Amino acid sequence: MLRRFCVLLLCCGIMAACNRSDDSGSKSAADWAKAGETDGYVYYADHASIKKADEIVTMSDLFDYKAARTEGGGAPALSKKTDRGYDCQNQKSQPLKTTWYSGQMGTGTVVRSNGDSDQLTPVMAGSATAALIKIACGTH
């Protein structure tokens, strides 16, 4: 009986350690909801990150590349996470912060990171951003 209790306690400890989030800010694959896919990448939305402030809605998205990319120069990345702002009424968006990762689904080391422009740009119909704005603005 004591042996079973110890095994159960050990299993609970292992499960708790696996479910604990780390300080890197990256989420597990289970936290991302698939929003769409292209030939080059799968993109995801984090519904829990949606925040509304005045006319702008913010939400995090993740692009998981099928092959490494070197967007913006630097080392190759297999994924990128972007905190993006959306103007739902005017159908515009702007990246607020983007972080590229060496691994898929926002894992591995941070390859590069930047704060992006303060410029809202129109969302192109049929783009990944068009699908993401529908989720962020609640029109999905």
- Chain segment 59-103, per-residue pLDDT in tens: 999 999 999 998 767 789 999 999 999 999 999 999 999 999 999
Question: DSSP state, 107?
Answer: -
- Is there a domain that residue 24 lies in? no
Confidence band for 42, pLDDT divided at 50, 70 and 90: very high
pLDDT at residue 2, as a whole number: 40
**Domain membership flag for residue 74:** yes
Q: Enter the pTM of the model.
A: 0.76
In a domain, 112, yes or no: yes
> Which tops the pLDDT comparison, 25 or 66?
66
Query: pLDDT value at position 139?
Result: 73
Domains held by the chain: number: 1
Domain membership flag for residue 62: yes
Domain containing residue 56: CATH number: 2.40.128.710
CA distance 95 to 22: 24
Q: Is the pLDDT of residue 6 over 80?
A: no
* DSSP label at residue 70: -
β-strand partners of 57: 52, 86
Mean pLDDT throughout 1-12?
38
pLDDT reported for residue 115: 86
Beta pairing partners, 95 = 84
- Who wins on pLDDT, 140 or 114? 114
pLDDT digits (tens, 9 = 90+) for 108-136: 999 999 987 778 999 999 999 999 999 99
Contacts of 112 (CB under 8 A, 6+ apart): 72, 74, 75, 77, 99, 100
CA distance 75 to 69: 8
Instruction: Tell me if 13 is assigned to some domain.
Output: no
Q: Is residue 130 domain-resident?
A: yes
Q: What's the confidence (pLDDT) of residue 111? A: 93
Separation in Å, CA 122 to CA 10, 90, 96 = 53, 8, 15
What's the domain range around 47?
A: 29-137
**In-domain check, residue 7:** no
Higher pLDDT, 113 or 18: 113
Give a yes or no: residue 89 inside a domain. Answer: yes
